[in-house]
Structure 1
Amino acid sequence: MSLKIRLSRGGAKKRPFYKIVLADSRSPRDGKFIEKLGTYNPMLPHDHEQRLVLKEERIKHWLSVGAQPTDRVAKFFATAGYIAARVQPEQSKKPQPKAKAQERLKEQQKAAEAAAAEAPAGE
């Protein structure tokens, strides 16, 4: 059985409230869980004490047993100091322009720099 520490959504429409739960990885997001480990209320200000409530002792126990936190929960645990921060993978280069377009942009930048350098000298 693979254990996950993840968020389970509650609250009304457009008013989210999350429970941080330990669940079997095969169970549905808002379905059956083993233990509630905390709460997260994104509607509260960042400095509010009730925005993120964690049960430190139980979290440390389940992490030592081998439960894997999801990405968002891992960020919460990293800020709380329970685990080391995960390194974000490098973003893909897909949205960048192709090679010829990048060359044209570099040429335009060089031309703009040359024009800017000549303008003050001509005054």
Structure 2
Amino acid sequence: MQTNTLIQLLQQSFHIGVGATASLLETFQDPQKRAETLSQFHQQFNLQTQQWAEKGELTEKEARRILDELLKQQKNSDKTGVQSPSSSDPSNSNIESEIEELTQQVIALRTELENLRQSN
């Protein structure tokens, strides 16, 4: 890394810190600006929670679809008398671990969404 680049990076970091501090002080001192900033923050937070909720819903649907497909495959293999793959089969254990991971993600997203809804 060149010395000039490092100095420029440090200088830019310093300017960012000073600018952020000045903006924060201006916001605290001006009631109108404070209300505007809080309103923007609230809108952004609401938008973000809505996006998280949509993503959680899509993740849940995808997890359910995968689980339904696996159950359907298992039922079909049971009906045809074909023995289902054993748990020692690497592809089967990969699928099981993916299902477990997706299930945990859905649970975490639901919990986070409920917490966000309760805080609003």
* TM-score under structure 2 length normalisation: 0.27
* TM-score under structure 1 length normalisation: 0.27
Q: Pick the structure with more strand per residue.
A: 1
Q: Flag the structure with larger Rg.
A: 2
Q: Pick the structure with more helix per residue.
A: 2
